[in-house]
Amino acid sequence: MTVRITEVEAYRGTEDPGSHAFRGRTARNASLHGPAGTLYVYFTYGMHYCANVVCGDDGRAGGVLLRAGDVVEGIETARARRGGPRSDLDLARGPARLAQALGLDRRFDGADLFAGPLDLELPETPAAAGEYATGPRVGLSGPGGSAEYPWRFWLPGEPTVSKYRPAKPRAARKVMG
């Protein structure tokens, strides 16, 4: 199966309030502290897996969340894993859908993307400015979620890119007294 990544979000480890590594190393985020090219797969909201490619030096957390992709080979496999989405555009639109289409779960956490069984291929020439767009990360509020972190990157006009949804501030809790 081959997926062309169309959208990502960057996270700066322990210096980034939006990062899973912000509060330090844990058993859950240990692979996020590994060498560049390591896959960090985590379970979220009690129902979905998502994946980051580690980008920092070994021992220093940092990663890029794989947010969306275009299935270019293995579409039947992706459809089966996703349970028949309404549209092929939805096969890998969003980080949980992308992980599901790729068959990623915690078994792949810590995998070396340059040693298999998964394979990461980078283009010979990086995208030039203007070939991608950037903006705030999705669903983060408070420190780390504002425009001060325009670390979401996507291919403009690409129909598989997820829709931007700003975070909703949490309502204040009422204290019973």
The whole-number pLDDT of residue 134 equals 92
What is the per-residue pLDDT for 41? 97
Predicted structure pTM score: 0.88
What is residue 17's predicted lDDT score, i.e. its pLDDT?
Answer: 87
**pLDDT value at position 173?**
54
The CATH number that applies at residue 13 is 3.10.300.10
pLDDT at residue number 167: 63
pLDDT of residue 160: 95
Q: Give me the amino acid identity at 166.
A: P
Side-chain half-sphere exposure of 128, counting CA atoms within 13 A: 1
| Distance between CA atoms of residues 27 and 22, nearest Å | 14
User: Which residues of the chain fall short of a pLDDT of 70?
Assistant: 141-147, 165-177
Query: What is the tally of structural domains in the chain?
Result: 1
The domain containing residue 142 runs over which residues?
A: 2-154
In a domain, 149, yes or no: yes
